[in-house]
């Protein structure tokens, strides 16, 4: 019986903390673009937009008329609060990190 109490206590002490969403602010000079996160539309891209993202890798894209004009891969941790720039630039191939899901 005593070992059951110790096992319960040990399990309570080692339980993982719940993941806290990260807050990511995006700065951009792009106009008339739509924001996509992991290939899901998030609406118009405006300078200073703040996203709440689950911890892990994410692909940010700006699209105009279904054409990707900017792409950035970010890795966020639980509780992160930071700013990333998303500006028009040429990109090479697939810039998708391991673990990120991309749906075109």
CB atoms inside a 10 Å sphere around CB 19? 12
CATH of the domain at 26: 2.60.40.1120
For β-strands 67-76 and 56-64, DSSP reports them as antiparallel
pLDDT for the residue 102? 58
Domain assignment of residue 32, given as a range: 19-85
Determine, yes or no, domain membership for 58.
Answer: yes
Task: Give the pLDDT mean for 65-87.
Answer: 93
Domain count, the chain: 1
Determine, yes or no, domain membership for 100.
Answer: no
Determine, yes or no, domain membership for 28.
Answer: yes
pLDDT for the residue 31? 87
Q: 24 vs 96, which has greater pLDDT?
A: 24
Q: 22 vs 98, which has greater pLDDT?
A: 22
Judged against a pLDDT cut of 90, whether residue 59 lies above it is answered with yes
Determine, yes or no, domain membership for 92.
Answer: no
Judged against a pLDDT cut of 80, whether residue 12 lies above it is answered with no
Determine, yes or no, domain membership for 59.
Answer: yes
75 contact partners, CB below 8 Å, separation of at least 6: 56, 57, 58, 97
CB 74 within 8 A of CB 22: no
Mean pLDDT, the chain, whole residue set: 82
Global pTM value: 0.71
């Amino acid at each position: 019986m005593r070992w059951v109490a110790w096992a319960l206590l040990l399990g309570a002490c080692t339980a993982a903390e719940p993941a806290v969403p990260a807050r990511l602010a995006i700065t951009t000079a792009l106009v008339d673009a739509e924001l996509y996160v992991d290939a899901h539309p998030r609406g118009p891209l405006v300078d200073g937009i703040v996203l709440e993202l689950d911890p892990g890798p994410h692909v940010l894209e700006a699209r105009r008329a279904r054409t990707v004009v900017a792409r950035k891969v970010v890795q966020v941790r639980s509780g992160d609060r930071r700013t990333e720039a998303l500006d028009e630039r040429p990109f090479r191939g697939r810039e998708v990190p391991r673990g990120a899901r991309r749906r075109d």
